[in-house]
Chain A
Amino acid sequence: MLDFYNIDSVLSEDERAVRDSVRRFVDERVIPIIGNCYVEGRFPKELIPEMAELGVFGANLPEEYGCAGLNNVAYGLIMQELERGDSGVRSFASVQGALAMYPIYAFGSEEQRKKWLPRMAKGEVIGCFGLTEPDYGSNPSGMITMAKEQKDGTWILNGAKMWITNGSTAKIAVVWAKTNGDTSDKSIRGFIVPTDSKGFKAKDQKGKLSLRASDTSELVFQDLELPADAILPKSGGLKSPLMCLTQARYGISWGALGAAMACFEEALEYSKNRVMFDRPIGGFQIQQERLAEMLTEIVKGQLVVLHLGRLKDAGTMVPQQVSLAKRNNVNIATDIAREARRLLGANGILAEYSAMRHMANLESVYTYEGTHDVHSLVLGQALTGLNAFK
């Protein structure tokens, strides 16, 4: 893999070792099957034990909970390598780590952490994250899912969530609901909902043309009873789920680069071998311009996330900085995937090549975890102090 600006020289030995291990896993176990999985519309569940063994779930959470205890640059490199394979595979790891394990770690009691995190690190318990609703996507504070506390401390949950990755595979769902009839977002709390609860239904969303190697579900909660200890005690307000999203978005900023790198490498190799008009097409000016553009955006994107990771490790990173990275890196990745697909010519429409699969996947990545536009407004508000959301 081309390292044009020798980023390796500023990675630590561990960071490189982590990256190399995950890269090898993806090359040997994901890439050979993922084209077919995508066409079939299935997530390769059989890889879950190996991913767990490798240690990619909650990799930046502490060792005392059975996690790898890596720093955030290493975590980012993991996401980069997974998405070099496929955005659906990386989404699985993002959801498991940043959206299911992280909230339990950040907002859960010690009992909850000890009960769930080690088994989630081992891939024995899969989690999902229930925030988005059918009518509330970019505006999560409008959610209508409601949990009502009973006299005996138990809760009754009613509502629906949509576009939930891992929804039908998960054993637990970390669900965000308003509480006790209060429709302001201040009443939002997090709940650990076992998916075998009476009143819980998960239905796969069919007909996806993007992120096909991933389970995406609707969740419906109908008078679902939850014990008192289902609530995440330290959660409160919209801030809690947004903190989880910040974690996931950080990983996605790296992941998108992985997809871009995969498309770029494939296009570069193809351009050197594909002969037309008696020369490799890589010798024609238009293709060289394409390749130069791709390379430049990848290098810029690498430097953004590398610095962002160092800020996160130093404890000074703020969510707006993540918005910049997610917005930029996913956007350039969608461009790179599309241009790579074009360079590949007719071959580029085949599942045998990765460009079009990445291209389609990246439309979901562009849309989820805060659409590109939402992040524009986050930055706009950070710059001007003026709220342009409403």
Chain B
Amino acid sequence: MKIAVCIKRTPDSESRFKIASSQTAIDETGLKFDIDDFASYAVEVALQLNEKQGPGETVVYAVGPDLVQETLRKAMSMGADRAVQLKTDAVPYDGIAVAKALAAELKGGGYDLVLFGKHAFDTSGGIVGTATAELLGIPCVTAATKLEIANGRGTARRDLEGAAETVEFPLPAAVTIDEGIARPRYPSLKGIMAAKKKPLETKPAQLGAARVTVKSMDLPPERPAGRIIGEGAAAVPELIRLLQTEAKVL
């Protein structure tokens, strides 16, 4: 199958964050960047589908400055065949603007499947995948926790609140990938070396106008310090009392 995977370069999700002096971005000093977590599941899904279903091509796309080339090469070191950088100085926060750039590039690419992460860790929008699919005019399944492809059709499962929905759809289609489908492989050392020889194309990103912009970024308010109210089962009566009278949640 010809599969496109759209990935994003984001900071390591385990980091502690500080706000930059501009107040409109996080301070990137000392942060490590990599393929966004959900996007890396999408890459893994693509690789596994092509491994299972015989010869195919996995192409990875990323919007951003030249720094994203390293992220694209990571995907190629996992096994993607080639990469395309849609170049822009700064990735807009506006998901529709990004979706327009991806749709313009993917149109006519002849992809059977276009995969995205469910959302990116930094913007947490969950917009780009579904919006790009709409712009391409192809069916889309959002936040799939299971995905199977057979005979030109796909079956996916999605978590609803308190339930799970199974959907079927024809290819070509787009799917945004939730956690739990696949564990992303770490690149083998040979894969890392092979990635250097794989094609990485750079083109200008045809972004839409950014109509959503960052006004400010702030850290969430600190929780006031709590306290240990006692030890063992003996502390239970006091807890009940506090939940009733102080917290008023019981």
Q: Are B188's CB and A17's CB within 8 A?
A: no
Known: A13-B70, A17-B74. A53 touches B188 (CB 8 A): yes
> A21, B193: Cβ atoms under 8 Å?
no
B187 within 8 A of A: yes
- The one of B73, B189, B190 in contact with A13, judged by C-beta atoms closer than 8 angstroms, is B73
Instruction: List, in ascending order, chain B residues with CB within 8 A of A186's CB.
Output: none
- The answer to whether residues A18 and B186 also contact, given A13-B70, A13-B73 and a CB cut-off of 8 A, is no
Whether the Cβ atoms of B186 and A68 lie closer than 8 Å is: no
Size of the chain B interface, CB-CB below 8 angstroms: 12
Name the one of A24, A56, A69 contacting B193, with C-beta atoms under 8 angstroms.
A69
A14 touches B196 (CB 8 A): yes
CB-CB < 8 A to A22: which residues of B?
189
In the complex, what distance in Å separates the CA atom of A22 from the CA atom of B190? 12
Q: Which residues of B contact A85 (CB under 8 A)?
A: none
Do A68 and B70 touch across chains, with their CB atoms under 8 A apart? no
Q: A interface, by DSSP: helix, strand, loop or mixed?
A: helix
Q: How far is the CA of A69 from the CA of B196 in the complex (A)?
A: 13
Contact B189 A56 (CB under 8 A): yes
A-B contact count (CB 8 A): 43
Contact B189 A78 (CB under 8 A): yes
- Please report the C-alpha to C-alpha distance between residue A5 and residue B101 in the assembled complex, in whole angstroms: 39
Beta-carbon contact of A70 and B189 below 8 Å: yes
Residues of B within 8 Å of A196, CB to CB, are none
Chain B CB within 8 A of A55 CB: yes
Q: How far is the CB of A369 from chain B (nearest CB, A)?
A: 23
Additional A-B contacts beyond A14-B192, A69-B193 (15; CB < 8 A):
A13-B73, A17-B73, A17-B77, A17-B187, A18-B192, A21-B187, A25-B186, A53-B188, A55-B190, A59-B189, A63-B190, A68-B188, A68-B193, A70-B189, A74-B189
> Could you name 8 residue pairs across A and B whose Cβ atoms are closer than 8 Å?
A14-B196, A18-B189, A21-B186, A21-B187, A54-B186, A55-B189, A74-B189, A78-B189
The 9 closest A-B pairs by CB, nearest first: A55-B189, A68-B189, A24-B186, A21-B186, A17-B192, A55-B188, A55-B190, A68-B190, A21-B187
